[in-house]
Structure 1
Amino acid sequence: MRRSVAIAGVALADCGRVDTATPYTLHAQAARRALADAGLDRSVVDGLASAGLGTLAPIEVAEYLGLRPRWVDSTAVGGATWEVMTAHAVDAIAAGRANAVLLVYGSTARADIRAGRRTSDLSYGTRGPLQFEAPYGHTLIAKYAMAARRHMHAYGTTLEQLAAVAVQARANAAHNPEAMFRDPVTVEDVLSGPMIADPFTKLHCCIRSDGGCAVLLAAEEYGPDLAKPPVWILGTGEYASHTTMSEWEDFTVSPAAVSGRLAFERAGLTPADMDFAQVYDAFTYMTLVTLEDLGFCAKGEGGPYVEQGTLPVNTDGGGLSACHPGMRGLFLLVEAARQLRAEAPGRQVPDARLGVVSGTGGWFCSSGTVVLGRER
């Protein structure tokens, strides 16, 4: 049994500065809005995917939402989680193990830190393999910074080219009323900011926000009942690389090189067919190297490519300007669906018919890529 699968509904919960909500209420808010966006009742949902909340994430969230799913997924691979979950859910729906799967996320990361309810997660603890790096002060940001420095050394990538990523993200956010930061920035603003981890100054790094979102995936037979045009999932790919930096074979190659190739092959399409890309951008270097590895330009040419800015990328402003409550990959799918449904006024890509979403987890530890289209 093989059925086509579509994004039936998408929605954001309240995002940005949300001081009064809990992660559970953001989950519920996003879920209600996504179902309303699809024009479907929650009774159709027989699958749930959730991560990042509680010890029994999908079960606790399902109970809070009043759902009793027959299929669940709690895969947690960092920022690539939601693209990987999408691949799993598509396979489950296509095989008949579920009919409608809700992917839902909510986090009050910003509010929790400001209120002293938790500390920053930049060190990611000292258990397991990480115990061999933590004593040297090797934070998450430092790992990305080291990879960026290697790309700069190998290919001549410049700080100005990396800064162009942040400038473009902010320019996109200026047209997104839901973005947290919308004031324009310049390359000089990025370069002159406070240093966080060489070569990353503050504006090279993602913002910290609260927020949530949800995506409802449904089998093809729901198509005629949907309130909005379905967005079809044409191909998916996933790949796991490393966790210890010494086990990463090449700092200039991200796991999107594999997940992207698989997704495009399964869709029967190429990067040249894409009208836009939504990629995880916790740091400016992530955008540059992911676009390289997805095949939009050759290896080493990411610097000039992002400087030219010809491809619409992270049209909502991304994690650098719009929102970043953690594990932001689900927000990429929301924005991609809105673009393909022509629901992004002010930032709409003209006649967008095909797009790619690629999430990255950890410190280039994992990747999930999804190719989407307006037609099957």
Structure 2
Amino acid sequence: MSFITGVGLTAYGRHEGSSSLDLMSKAAQLAITDAGLRRSEIDGILCGYSTVAPHIMLATVFAEHFGIKPSYAHAVQVGGATGLAMTMLAHQLVEAGVVRHVLVVSGENRLTGQSRDASILALAQVGHPEYEVPLGPTIPAYYGLVASRYMHEYGVTEGDLAEFAVLMRKHALTHPGAQFHDPITVADVMASKPVAMPLKLLDCCPVSDGGAAFVVSREPTSGIGVRVRGCAQAHTHQHVTAAPALSELGAEIAIAKAKQAAGVAISDVRYAAVYDSFTITLAMLLEDLGLAKRGEAAARVRSGHFSQDGAVPLNTHGGLLSYGHCGVGGAMAHLVETHLQMTGRAGNRQVRDASMALLHGDGGVLSSHVSMFLERVR
């Protein structure tokens, strides 16, 4: 058994003069304070990778910088799924009695500390070095290919995809730390600059500076406990050229195993935090996870199903699409927001019921998946 006992999150956007270590440190201290712990009580650290500061021993570099001496340290890298993969590993470590309090942390100054070309080059390396990278595709290009196929198979339109960007922006408007605070419409998304058709600028998450952290402990450290009820992973491929059929991607495998581990059904979910690097990512994952039928996720958005006051509120901080995306820390913000919702501390974003939450992370081009259920206990 393990519990998320504290969370920390910086604003996302532009942090001039802050290094990746600075942003990680700020988020880490917020999480430790939130858990009611001292730095000296942290005996494990899990650190997400960084493209801005790609040190081969980033976890211990951060531990030294932050002033802790953990008995267990590890760096993890499975793309956008890294945050939840680290949470799953922390859960297993405390359950096994290896450590008592694990600090999970990541952050990058990708917006101010890395050039546009360097960022594009670094992320494009998820492609096959012989069959894909030499042809010059970018991450948006890979997802554009996926989007075209998905739209063809399930009758999804560009207007449908735009609905997800509009919803995420609507949610971001109420969070002071979000990168974007200007409302947008479906028409705005449709009129935005083409990036990798059918994906346009507002279908894509931004590049951000920011940091996120949380503490995973063997026991609750406050009155309301947020327990890891069950989790699972799936890794079906790395490269687009080796990907299985759209109906056989890893999200379906991971969620099936997570439901079995947690002993819950999708109908039990009251809050959802789902990876949203692109609008097509969110549309596909919601359907793969069983939160909507094939081709019908956009209709559920339009009906208000995933709104703050809907049946299953989704990414109430604005997600990657509007809160921002600073690498591994981007998706970790989803868990921070979930914890705030589950402990009744989300302020004007607070939903009616977040007693059972589903989180899902996606790494690569729908390559690596982690599904997780969190449960509120007293």
Match of 2:264 among 264, 269, 274: 269
Asked whether the equivalents of residues 14 and 111 of structure 2 are also in contact (C-alpha less than 8 Å), the reply is: yes
Please say which of residues 356-365 and 131-140 is displaced more in the overlay. 131-140
The reply on whether 1:88 has 2:89 as its aligned counterpart is yes
Q: 2:35 aligns with which of 31, 35, 38?
A: 38
- Residue 280 of structure 2 corresponds to which residue in structure 1? 285
Deviation string 1:118-160 (CA, Å, 9 cap, x unpaired) is 7223563569833311222222111111111111100101111
Aligned: 1:352 with 2:373: no
How many pairs were matched up?
Answer: 367
Structure-1 residue corresponding to 2:75 = 74
Kept in 1, the 8 Å contact 2:164–2:279? The answer is yes
Deviation at 1:177, TM superposition (A): 1.2
Does structure 2 retain, via aligned residues, the 8 Å contact 1:169–1:320? yes
Counterpart in the other structure of 2:106: 105
Q: Which amino acid letter does the alignment assign opposite residue 175 of structure 1? A: T
Distance 2:331 2:320 in 1: 10
Question: Where does structure 1 differ by over 4 angstroms across 4 or more consecutive aligned residues?
Answer: 125-128
* AA matched with 1:56: M
User: Quick check: 1:158–1:303 contact (8 Å CA) kept in 2?
Assistant: no
The letter for the 1-side match of 2:201 is K
| 1:246 equivalent in alignment to 2:241 | yes
Percent of aligned positions that are identical? 35
Distance 1:159 1:190 in 2: 9
What pairs with 1:298-317 in structure 2 (closer than 5 Å)? 298-310=293-305, 311-317=312-318
Q: Which deviates further from its counterpart, 41-50 or 298-307?
A: 298-307
Secondary structure, aligned partner of 1:120? helix
**Residues 130-145 of structure 1 aligned to structure 2 (within 5 Å):** 130-145=129-144
Q: Aligned partners of 1:136 and 1:309: how far apart in 2?
A: 41
Partner of 2:10: 13
Corresponding residue of 1:198: 197
Question: Could you say if the C-alpha distance between residues 127 and 304 of structure 1 is closer, same or farther in structure 2, counting changes exceeding 3 Å?
Answer: closer
State the TM-score, normalized to the length of structure 2: 0.93
Decide whether the 8 Å contact of 2:320 with 2:331 is kept in 1. no
For residues 259-294 of structure 1, give each alpha carbon's deviation from its aligned partner in whole angstroms, at most 9, with x where no partner exists: 112112111111111111111111001111111111
In 2, Cα distance between the equivalents of 1:126 and 1:15? Answer: 25
Measured after TM superposition, the shift of residue 75 of structure 1 is 2.0
The answer on whether the counterparts of 2:49 and 2:76 sit within 8 Å (CA) in structure 1 is: no
Measured in 2, the distance between the counterparts of 1:228 and 1:29 equals 25
| Alpha-carbon distance in 1 for matches of 2:172, 2:302 | 18
Alpha-carbon separation, structure 2, partners of 1:108 and 1:18:
7
User: Among residues 336, 350, 355, which one is paired with 1:334 in the alignment?
Assistant: 336
Q: Aligned partners of 2:122, 2:191: CA distance in 1, in Å?
A: 25
1:209-250, Cα deviation, whole Å (9 max, x unpaired) = 100011100002xx2xx2462211101111112122121111
State which drifts further: 194-203 or 341-350: 341-350
Q: 1: distance between equivalents of 2:270 and 2:80?
A: 23
Cα distance between partner residues in 1 of 2:204 and 2:223: 35
Change (3 A) 1:218 1:9: same
Q: In 1, are the aligned partners of 2:178 and 2:318 still within 8 Å (CA)? A: yes
User: Amino acid of the residue matched to residue 58 of structure 1?
Assistant: A
- With over 3 angstroms needed to count, the CA separation of the structure-2 counterparts of 1:126 and 1:288, relative to structure 1, is closer
- 1:101 is matched by which residue type in structure 2? V
User: In the TM superposition, what is the alpha-carbon distance from 1:86 to its structure 2 partner?
Assistant: 1.1
Cα 1:303–1:215, aligned 2, differ >3 Å: closer, same or farther? same
Secondary structure (helix, strand or coil) at the match of 2:123 reads coil
> Structure 1 stretches of 5 or more lacking a match?
none
Whole-angstrom distance in 2 between the partners of 1:237 and 1:137: 33
